[in-house]
A and B are shown apart, each in its own frame.
Chain A
Amino acid sequence: MAPAPTATHSVVTLTVNGEKHTLPVDHRTTLLDVLRERLDLTGTKKGCDQGQCGACTVLVDGRRAVSCLQLAVAAEGREITTIEGVAEGDRLHPVQQAFLDLDGFQCGYCTPGQICSALAVLDEHAAGWPSAATDDVRPEAGVPPLTPEEIRERMSGNLCRCGAYVSIVRAVERAAAADRDASAADAPGGGDDIPADASKEAVA
């Protein structure tokens, strides 16, 4: 026996970058389309609409997710952070600054997704999550350092067609090093061993 018909639209309240938005949505609408078409937050990009490119990556309750496969109606009650919510006012987040300084993008279309993903990579690594690049995943083996190989594997859900991967990895390395320095500020020499060569050329 078929159940009674249910509504195909709902009024939902979405919390995006700390702001609450109440709006009616067609249940078919993805979080990605609500952000772009309804909330005018077009920083989140639609590259494939199939979960195959990562351009639409946002943070949902602090974790990265592809917003193209997230139904908006199911995102009610979650804290959503988009690229527009990453900087603090005019001050870029260190990850954004590293992308800018080291030219971690070209056309820029995958960039918001890469940056949101990189933010999550730093958090996931800090939480001790291993990756497919981690040789020994047993907890006794400890957290592997964020080597370029680890960064590449962890960032692999974000495709870039311009081929900016090399600079993106450098940017994430630099941001990770800054994180490390910040959390061990009193460690002597807490070295920025990364891409002196690339950053030297950048005079913004």
Chain B
Amino acid sequence: MTTATRGTAAPGAVGTGHTRIEGRDKVTGAARYAGEIPFGDLAHGWLVLSTVARGRVVAVETGPVLGMPGVLAVLHHGNAPRVETQYVGSLGPPDPVVGLFQHDRVPYAGWPVALVVAETSEQAREAAEALQVRYETEPHDVGFHPEHAAAYTPESVMGQPNEAVKGDLEAELAASAVVVDERYGTPEEHHNTMEPHAATARWDGGRLEVVDSNQGSRWVAEELAHLFSLDLASVRVRSEHVGGAFGCKGVRPHQVGAAMAATVLDRPVRVVLTRRQMFSVVGYRSPTTQRVRLGADPDGRLRALGHEAHGVTSKLFEFVEPSAGFGRSMYAADAHHSVTRLVPLDVPTPTWMRAPGEAPGSFALECALDELAEKCGVDPIALRERNEPAVGPVSGLPFGSRNLLACYREGARRFSWADRDPRPGTRRDGRWLVGTGMAASTFFVGAAPTTAAVTAEPDGTFTVRITAADVGTGARTALTQIAADALEVTPDRVRVRIADSDFGQAWLAGGSMGTRSWGWAVLLAARELRERLALGGAVPEEGLTARSDTSDVLAALAQKERHSYGAQFAEVAVDVTTGEVRVRRMLGIFAAGRIVNPLTARSQLVGGMTWGLSMALHEEAVRDAASGAHVGADLAGYHFAAHADVPRIEADWVEDTDDEDPVGIKGIGEIGIVGAAAAIANAVWHATGVRHRTLPIRPDRVLDAAGAPGTPGAGAAADGGPDRA
């Protein structure tokens, strides 16, 4: 099945499937996550969140609660240690939610207002629930719509321009024979890692020690050092096993609260978030509305690509879900305009969530392209091939390796795309209407400065130390393989230690840049060590260590459009009489650089595609207008795909090398979700003839789109017919 894979295999460990280094610990229950490491004299903290959406805390009635069994302290704005929030960290200023208990303002429902600490978690929970907090409330505004009076255009997104302009969009639209002008919507989505955030903090010989669940221990250590005005050397953060991250596991109220309480009580304190609390304090993906305007010649050649997105941020802090950026590197068009605008509301600040920007942005643009293909009478793949750019469409920069066309070809072959009848609403299998769809995907390739140390031990083994994080990506295993090859030894002689901020500066698990950034550093250190060992001599008792820092090599890298690419295919079945949509199969073919570990890489890509399925059909957080708070903030109210929703999904890759790239590793954490929801939505159209431009494609939406009740019996095909589109 994996013929396309073979080309990337190199001699040695890299390119060969390797089960996870920590796999045995994970299948036997031996792997300990942050909340599971025993501490003597441990106390338990339980957060109390505001129940009102705007106002201020008038009183925290601590008296009765302090008298409850086991209760040790109640921290709130009136007594909490001061923290410093006016700083700019390595990824920007902190989300104000980490400035725990620094004032009496309540900016949204779910804002932390107190931390109850007790001897046991049951006592802390009961006391937290009993704690009376009185509020003075003010009117709130949680209604998101693009015409909101407060909507504005941010200057930049993570240092990049937010708005991109090329040519005259309106003029090209006017000159276009075929125009698509549609609005798309995606809801508020939540990471919902299986492991809730957990941190244990304690002071140990003047150092703040935190055992945490995060995606970057060095990053979190830096943030805590800023917040508590400590030298970085006085903070140590470890995060050995992490039960999922997806963007939400940075510095969050749990670490700050645990550190505060450990300071006040002078004993170890653990704070674990509840599932419900996670909905308010760890960030989420902003809802979006997106207007896409495409203008094309009759053959589908794009003259105009306009993408105007709106998202939400809190009134406290600007976070941009850069949905409009997806097309900037994807399609050649004479004119291009893309911009993301924000509506500030009385809601928590959104944050990065798997493929921020690309996930919702690709849904809108890749659906719009499908609509354009329909209007032009051009096959969706042919349409994309026709608009394949030679250089960055907006930047004008040369591409690194861009093997998108190969993804289309391989995907089309394996999905039997050529046999597809383009007419919608014509295939029936019992009560199901069946259709197929496709979409393209891309994600940028980057690397950030990272340090690593590789030590030759006297016993002939090697130890790698790097503040990487394995949040389920397989990074620990991939780095072992990379180090083994660079050292020219078998992987069983290499021990990779990660997720300890004492190991030095390193990029975090994010932006699909982890393995590329860390692998690069490990490679450099391991190569240097091998060279030193080649000089001969015995390894001293303390070992022989080589260190690396990738800052210089990264700075010297030529400017290019570096991306990974993919082609996503889906087949769905829709019962328009009940509104049920089932995905029957998915195929993703990716061009994602050198694949270090085919076994775990496939898992990550399939995992991303599963997210895309889940985004297409299930995920949606709902806010109650009256209270401004979530409704059903739990896993019964917020659905993500369960086993029964997920068919056999295949992911594979094509040869994708870049001779000018010294490591050749791209990133695979995020690209799997990009375009997947669009492929499914396009397949739903192909099945039923109805375009669903708002996610998720829920049964009620399918039913409402199908209009009047289905005609009796089996003759309901017309309900989904193209005339209803």
Contact = CB atoms under 8 A, between A and B. Distances in A.
Interface in B187-203: 191-196
A112 interface: yes
Interface string B5-43: 000000000001111101111111111110110100000
Interface stretch (A35-43, A136-144, A179-187): A35-43
A203 B194 contact: no
Contact of A50 (B192, B611, B634): B634
Interface in A86-105: 86-87, 92, 96-97, 99-101, 103, 105
Contacts of A109: 33, 193-195, 243-244
Interface residues of A, number: 68
B27 A115 contact: yes
B24 A55 contact: no
A36 B242 CA distance: 17
Contact of B122 (A29, A101, A155): A29
A174 interface: no
A163 B31 CA distance: 20
Contact of B194 (A83, A107, A165, A200): A107
Interface in A157-204: 157-169, 197-198, 200-204
B294 interface: no
Interface of B is mostly: loop
Nearest to A100: B23
A153 B94 CA distance: 42
A200 B5 CA distance: 13
Q: Which of B26, B27, B608 has the most CB of A within 10 A?
A: B27
B73 to A, nearest CB: 20
Interface in B216-251: 241-246
A120 interface: no
A144 to B, nearest CB: 15
A201 B17 contact: yes
A67 interface: no
Contact of A107 (B122, B126, B472, B608): B472
Interface extent on B, as a size class? 35 or more
A97 to B, nearest CB: 8
Contact of A204 (B2, B19, B602): B19
A42 B2 CA distance: 38
Given A28-B126, A42-B33, A106-B474, 19 more contacts: A33-B122, A37-B120, A46-B35, A50-B275, A84-B28, A84-B30, A92-B27, A99-B27, A106-B244, A106-B472, A107-B245, A108-B31, A111-B26, A112-B27, A159-B640, A160-B643, A167-B603, A198-B602, A202-B19
Interface of A: 26, 28-29, 33, 36-37, 40-50, 52-53, 55, 82-84, 86-87, 92, 96-97, 99-101, 103, 105-112, 115, 133, 148, 151-153, 155-169, 197-198, 200-204
Task: Please provide the 9 A-B residue pairs with the shortest distance between their CB atoms, ordered closest to farther.
Answer: A43-B29, A163-B610, A107-B472, A109-B243, A201-B17, A108-B26, A163-B607, A106-B472, A83-B29
29 contacts: A28-B126, A37-B120, A40-B38, A42-B29, A42-B33, A46-B272, A47-B635, A83-B29, A92-B28, A103-B603, A106-B603, A107-B195, A108-B26, A108-B472, A111-B26, A152-B643, A155-B643, A156-B642, A160-B194, A160-B643, A161-B192, A161-B194, A161-B640, A162-B194, A162-B607, A163-B611, A169-B643, A198-B602, A204-B18
Interface of B: 1-2, 16-20, 22-33, 35-36, 38, 120-122, 126, 191-196, 241-246, 272, 274-275, 471-474, 598-600, 602-604, 606-611, 614, 634-636, 640-644, 646, 648-649
